Structure 1
């Protein structure tokens, strides 16, 4: 009985853990293709988001104001900073990139130090997939469709 109770508690905790798969970046080997590879980097900074191609910043999305995001502190005074990042703009921009490069499946999420783990998870969810609203025909409701964007995500430190 003494062994059974801790075992049941441990298995109950493990059943609630979700695993997010990451892909490790490939080594710099001999790449015979002469076609330039497209790199998509989502850089998470304390002041907002940046999308880069590895050489230059393509877009910047500053943090939303607390009033715009509707963020309020909880009972303990904790403010969920992850809601201040404009994930809707990020998703829209990534959808445009995906339409331009439909075979591209990998992306890098680069983070500055001291960015909360919750922010990383929300950014990874936005990079992995997005919801697109399609107008329904006359008299019908709009259709909400989930689109896979860049499921092969690698993480690293921001430059």
Structure 2
């Protein structure tokens, strides 16, 4: 007579408690991190002409120059429009917004602006000026909306030795 031997089959117990603990901690941390890391993109255009293209001499070219000493707003035809020196609170973003709103009311079809940045301007100032140049908060039908100013922003370097200009003379026909 034959003996039938049963093979002993031992089932290995998997210990996955360490893995589950990792997942319990890792999944909520990653989900929370996604909310706080939203990226905001600003589309930029760089000044320059295509080969064979001539500049239009009669076009209004708005140039906003950002320097550590303040902000200049200029026009390619008439020159300097206004100078906004730094105050005790920092750059004059609200005055810049008001000036650009006045310019936009005179030329509603204009959407481009050249942002000339000095070498010692910090990144936060640059982004704040770009936000100020692109839009402003307006009240429409009892709600606050972002109204468009000059959304097509081109970047340009200001010269190393560039200084803030003197304020334009009042009553000489300069300014917006």
Shared topology, TM-score over 0.5?
A: yes
The Cα of 1:24 is off from its aligned counterpart by: 2.5
RMSD: 3.0
1:133, distance to aligned residue in structure 2 (A): 4.7
Out of 67, 76, 81, the position equivalent to 1:58 is 81
Confirm or deny that 1:27 pairs with 2:49: yes
In the alignment, which residue of structure 2 is the partner of 1:45?
67
Deviation at 1:154, TM superposition (A): 0.6
- Residues 155, 115 of structure 1: CA spacing in aligned structure 2 closer, same or farther, 3 A cutoff? same
Give 1:18's aligned residue: 40
Runs of 4+ residues over 6 Å off in structure 1: none
Which SS does the other structure have where 1:115 is aligned? coil
Q: Calculate the TM-score normalised by the size of structure 1.
A: 0.68
Compute the displacement of 1:19 (Å).
1.8
1:95-143 deviation per Cα after TM superposition (whole angstroms, max 9, x unaligned):
1111111111100111110210000000000000012357x8xxxxx65
The unaligned stretches of length 5 or more in structure 2 are 1-18, 20-25, 160-176
Q: Given the alignment of the two structures, is residue 108 of structure 1 paired with residue 131 of structure 2, yes or no? A: no
Taking structure 2 as the reference length, the TM-score comes to 0.62
> For the pair shown, which has the larger CA radius of gyration, 1 or 2?
2
The correspondence of residues 7-156 of structure 1 with structure 2, limited to 5 A, is 15-27=37-49, 29-31=52-54, 36-54=58-76, 56-65=79-88, 69=89, 84-133=90-139, 144-156=144-156
Give yes or no for contact 2:47–2:156 (8 Å, CA) kept in 1.
no
